Chain A
Amino acid sequence: MATLNHYLVLSAILFAIGTAGVFVRRNLITIFLSIEIMLNAVNLTFVAFGRSLGVADGQIIVFFVMTVAAAEAAVGLAIVIALFRHRETLNPDSWTALKW
């Protein structure tokens, strides 16, 4: 029987995997995918807590998080396309103009 803690631990593991992906990978698209993993881990936490409290608020917040994630993915990928057109690479280390 899966208790609340099971879901929270799973969500923590997924969030950590997403964070590791953002740090480790040097490809813009994969960094975006890792951000999506993190958002999904957070969604799982919300739904688990909503279920344990017996209210529907968790699901509603997940609804909004998904919408915001969709909007963010759309704009972020548009930026990636625009960046790719300038330098033919997806490596984030190639844009260092703001480094001191």
Chain B
Amino acid sequence: MRPLLIAQIGLTLFVFIMLLNSAAVMVYVERKVAAFLQQRVGPYRVGWQGVLQPLADIVKLLFKEELRPKAADAFLFALAPIISATCAFAAFSVVPFGAETTLGGLLPEALALQVADVNVAILVVFAIASMSVYGIVLAGWSSNSKYSLLGGLRSSAQMISYELSYGLALASVLVVANSLSLTEIVNRQAGAWFGVIPRWFVFLQPVAFLIYLTAGIAETNRAPFDFPEAEQELVAGYHTEYSSMSFAMFFLAEYVNMVTVSAVATNLFLGGWHGPFLPEYLGWIWFLIKVGAILFFYVWTRWTLPRYRYDQLMAFGWKVLLPVAVINLIVTAAGVLYFEL
């Protein structure tokens, strides 16, 4: 077999395993950061400083009994977490996380650190994100319980509404970057102005960055937009009737979606893997640092802000975020035309 093919397969497996690990790490990070924000210690018993806590959680979930309500539609009940998890992983497949590498000369030609290099990469991420609505709405419907159905419908309505602002924020970056391929967009952010300020798009498009992050938080059903799965409101929303590994699938999907949104935000706005001091082939370290910063911001927002009520949430998405995104797109297009970027 050709070494490039082996390297490609190895890369795919590597990305998959790293995403699984990232979900586990996020479980720990979330609990520790939440604890420190609330001035307590968090998990500290399992392993040093509680580092093995995610492992304990997974073992517990694996040993739980897999329940299914008798009146639930069996096929859809089993299909919903599969759709959620699959779409979450598939969306990361077109996100590049490092510069092209030849693995120190082992490979005949450069291998892009990306599972699939398509030239409409942003749209593919958007498309797969819009497919993940089905996992939630089918989970709500097939559980045949009123909390689940309400949670599922509300959650999917919220996700669809915020997809519009998400897409418009992406479109603003496209107008500036002149390409749909994530690799090209990142490479356009190399270098620095005056040698000091990096050429990141967040300095050219600050409004789009904020809109993107807000819409991303709403898309992944995280606080403060997590009304549909809030414990105090709807028992547990669309995953009320799920237990054991199906429940774990939904949470895996949520964390991997967070990682994907952060990774795409890093590539679009924060310059991807470009950074000072490190050589080009170690760019993935910068990528990890930036993605980690955005994930920390995610957890920080969750435990700081109160939750939006559902009608406030929808009103915000349609009456505030969407007009701002449209105006931002128009101003960006006018600016690009005027400054001949």
Contact flag (A, B; Cβ within 8 A)? no
